[in-house]
A and B are shown apart, each in its own frame.
Chain A
């Protein structure tokens, strides 16, 4: 049975006016942020793109893809990309998986839950310089770890000046970031609808099935968020490596940020800009993939 609707145009106009007013107000509130982003991120980004296509910042002669070819052929850049990629590929999934595992552990109602949570969050409160000092004391050639290793009959390991350095950095990264990731997961787990879990239990789903098909599905936006956050943090690990090992570290610890920092110090802005564009491109691809994964697997949740 069809009912004919009669539109009240005065209400429509009022609604439209209200909508424009709302947009104007929200626009006014957003403007400072938008301006800030444009001024401090988008504009410099455009300058970086421009710099990557010119021969030098003074003559500014367009050189096409020359800088891109030079940088991709540069041994230091390739080493840095390899190390950064390896570090991210290992450290980021570990940070996500271990963060989530810890969250499940604490959610399982184990004793000393509150104390453990505080314990995992402590590294966030320690300043970088202190973190570096602690890790230097631990992993110096004559540090605590080597003393312990020697006590158990092992030989001294040059942790920060050998390939083992990457392991130290991964540990440092996890130590620093696990707590925060865990809190994010704990928070997300609190938002999983209990009734769906109960329904699943009534339907006979076992714990693994509930974890895989309910909890993990509901956690997927958080997983993506934590992954992106961990990726960004993985790029920031340069600070610690730089303070631990200086501008030119052992080869295995040389990261993309070393390359960028050093090319900035030597006023090599073309290499710096080009490397930054490469890095941005890789980040866009990775983020795009993550968006796609999240969209693909979390679609049914959104539709609900």
Chain B
């Protein structure tokens, strides 16, 4: 009997365990390195590069210990291919050609490859003017004619035209004796250009072994060389993309992708058709060549069979990206996200080789890289910012842990890395050696968005090594905050000697609070609202659906509220903030079955069932200017657009906002939202990083860290407003949209006051609730819009489903 009871107790316990197993499934996570040991890398930067490595340098390739590149000389008359041995410092010019002949014709190296034997193969493109295509005579043209052309046709001011002429154009029309041919410039603007291509082989002594023009047949007026490689037998492979244009410059033939094979003697052996787009060619360690490109199966590496003249699609290997290079016979190096992986060709498995972030390098700045014979990794880095194009050569080596300063490693979890935050992390890591922030992305490799979300959620809630979290959007951030997963940043902010609550825009701080605690902080913000003509919508922001209906009713038939609006998009716009009128968040109740909501459905039903675009439709700017369209969605992130809209509407405008019974109808959109996890091992260290986003800018900082949106610091936002009121140093700019072009003037005090008023008084946040609310409404309303159900029936269903949703969130 006792035994029977025991058995039954065990059975019941297991029943419970198995029932609990019904709860949910899922999970995931990132793999660690094969041996599980933390590896350390250090990047040194080459400072003594040869003179030929200058601002014009491009096409960098690494092969063995040698870096190859193309460069132009100072006056852009000549260009060449150079080699630089990164270990010995030996520098050589391998090839040189005339880049510009002073008459508008030009020539450049589009691609090249270096064989193991040292021979160089080049793909050279020439652009030659077809003088017979122009009938006018420009032989007597002067500088004034040129400047007038630039002013009339390109909208240049006289001053800008002269500056750009001297800086950029004059060199192409100046012969070797210094004579400027102004007529050729004008001729070039009207003439048709003929593009020709040729291939060259340069032997190890620098002599041209062969040179021959390419004849690619019909529909190959334009040629782009996407890849070039040579195999062990000396066959040259060119991955080409050809197309032809009509006189208007539009493509008249569809793009064709193929790999052209040229024998050792320069003869064309044949074409290998490409199964999809080929983005590059790579010489494999066994001496054969493979194409890398995107097909139906994604990015793949396809070995080329020169005998059968085909891609061996049956031997294709799926690779995460087309940034692939050969490490050795068994392994490729493949870039994915911010890491480089070793990809084993036999096992098809990948193992993280190193992360650019670990070397304090932004992956977005890496143009090309290769592995040197001593194991170091050479990388060519290119950064575009407001200070221009900055290039560097980094040499990365793995170092022993003892060589690295004793740092506290903090992990910043994210779904996908973003360049803004990545740059901040790198700058922080470089600025001190007490802490090292590592970004860990959980969305890389996820096939579906939900997979990425689940992987991220699981990691943030269960991985105790996560210290900081970069949220994908506001609703995700607030969801985590509501579970108490984030540190209260007020405690850290209040202790900070350089920052205080008063430094920040109060409404943004409020938006970042949960339960009175500062759960998150965004890097910047923008505003989303609706703009209308003040004459139509009044001068005070904020209105209701009834006001909107009344406005539309007061206008002639055919007047639109928004451009291209159908019933579903109308309902989405009406509910952007309007859902708040039907939800009581306090007790998680709703009244979507009320007459007011039925009226909203009826109003949305007045719009066309589906918007059908036609080519002859007038664009939004024309309709707005003619009063046939009353409103437009507005994403406020600068002052220029304010002027643009004023010009389009033909009078003062108001940020009237989305209809709602409370507030001004605008929403804050927060960018790069970061929080500190309660599992953070060094909260002070995490704050040291986070505060770098908000520290007052030093005058030496310049604008190099420009990011989209307004700063959440009051003084930065104030300065931005002040600067907008000053005349631009370069004489202003011209903004164009559709039929309209506006010469941007300094913002007026009225403009600034209007924007400031909007910024300081907006409390609603875009994405404050999940998409489920919009989805439920739109899914059910569709049955009413298509005439299948009554508005009342639909409202009842929405009420039932929404009540379930709200009850769950309580």
A45 vs B810: C-alpha distance when bound (angstroms) = 25
Shortest CB-to-CB span from B803 to chain A, Å, is 6
Binary B-proximity of A265-304 (CB < 8 A = 1, otherwise 0) = 1111110110111011101100110010001000000000
| Cross-chain contact A58 with B678 (CB below 8 angstroms) | yes
Of all chain B residues, the one with the shortest Cβ separation from A269 is B461
Chain B contact residues, majority secondary structure: helix
Interface presence of B8 (CB below 8 A): yes
Which residues of chain B have C-beta atoms less than 8 A from A141's C-beta? 783, 788-789
| Cross-chain contact B805 with A264 (CB below 8 angstroms) | no
| Shortest 4 CB-CB contacts between residues of A and residues of B | A75-B807, A76-B807, A264-B24, A45-B17
Binary B-proximity of A81-122 (CB < 8 A = 1, otherwise 0) = 000000000000000000000000000000000000000000
Of all chain A residues, the one with the shortest Cβ separation from B16 is A280
Q: What is the interface size of chain A, counting residues whose CB is below 8 A from a CB of the partner? A: 59
CB within 8 Å of B: which residues of A?
37, 40-42, 44-45, 48, 55-59, 74-76, 79, 141-142, 158, 161-162, 235-236, 246-252, 254, 257-270, 272-273, 275-277, 279-281, 283-284, 287-288, 291, 295
> A158-B797, A266-B479, A267-B457 are known contacts; what are 5 more A-B pairs with Cβ within 8 Å?
A248-B801, A267-B461, A272-B23, A276-B23, A280-B20
A108 vs B111: C-alpha distance when bound (angstroms) = 85
Interface presence of B38 (CB below 8 A): no
Which residues of chain B have C-beta atoms less than 8 A from A265's C-beta? 450, 453-454
Shortest CB-to-CB span from A38 to chain B, Å, is 9
A37 vs B789: C-alpha distance when bound (angstroms) = 51
Binary A-proximity of B793-810 (CB < 8 A = 1, otherwise 0) = 100010011111101101
Which residues of chain A have C-beta atoms less than 8 A from B807's C-beta? 74-76, 79
A127 vs B557: C-alpha distance when bound (angstroms) = 53
Shortest CB-to-CB span from B473 to chain A, Å, is 13
Assuming A56-B484, A76-B808, is B793 touching A283 (CB within 8 A)?
Answer: no
| Cross-chain contact A283 with B16 (CB below 8 angstroms) | yes
Task: Give the size category of B's interface with A.
Answer: 35 or more
Interface presence of B87 (CB below 8 A): no
Of all chain B residues, the one with the shortest Cβ separation from A246 is B779
| Cross-chain contact A142 with B484 (CB below 8 angstroms) | no
Assuming A58-B461, A248-B805, A267-B461, is B16 touching A284 (CB within 8 A)?
Answer: yes
17 sample A-B contacts, Cβ–Cβ < 8 Å, listed by A number: A58-B484, A59-B678, A76-B804, A248-B802, A248-B808, A260-B23, A267-B461, A267-B479, A275-B23, A276-B20, A279-B19, A279-B20, A279-B22, A280-B15, A280-B19, A284-B15, A287-B12
| Cross-chain contact A250 with B23 (CB below 8 angstroms) | no
Which residues of chain B have C-beta atoms less than 8 A from A76's C-beta? 804, 807-808, 810
A283 vs B24: C-alpha distance when bound (angstroms) = 17
Which residues of chain A have C-beta atoms less than 8 A from B810's C-beta? 74-76
Q: What is the number of contacts between chain A and chain B, taking CB atoms within 8 Å?
A: 149
Of all chain B residues, the one with the shortest Cβ separation from A45 is B17
Which residues of chain B have C-beta atoms less than 8 A from A59's C-beta? 484-485, 678-679
Shortest CB-to-CB span from B488 to chain A, Å, is 12
Of all chain B residues, the one with the shortest Cβ separation from A285 is B12
Which residues of chain A have C-beta atoms less than 8 A from B660's C-beta? none
Of all chain A residues, the one with the shortest Cβ separation from B466 is A58
| Cross-chain contact A74 with B808 (CB below 8 angstroms) | yes
| Cross-chain contact A58 with B679 (CB below 8 angstroms) | yes
A261 vs B18: C-alpha distance when bound (angstroms) = 16
| Cross-chain contact A264 with B26 (CB below 8 angstroms) | yes
Assuming A267-B461, A272-B23, A284-B16, is B8 touching A249 (CB within 8 A)?
Answer: no
| Cross-chain contact B808 with A257 (CB below 8 angstroms) | no
Interface presence of B588 (CB below 8 A): yes
Shortest CB-to-CB span from B468 to chain A, Å, is 13
Shortest CB-to-CB span from A201 to chain B, Å, is 34
Binary A-proximity of B383-423 (CB < 8 A = 1, otherwise 0) = 00000000000000000000000000000000000000000
Binary A-proximity of B451-473 (CB < 8 A = 1, otherwise 0) = 00110011011101000000000
| Cross-chain contact B801 with A250 (CB below 8 angstroms) | yes
Which residues of chain B have C-beta atoms less than 8 A from A74's C-beta? 807-808, 810
Which residues of chain A have C-beta atoms less than 8 A from B450's C-beta? 265
A76 vs B804: C-alpha distance when bound (angstroms) = 6
Shortest CB-to-CB span from B245 to chain A, Å, is 49
Interface presence of B747 (CB below 8 A): no
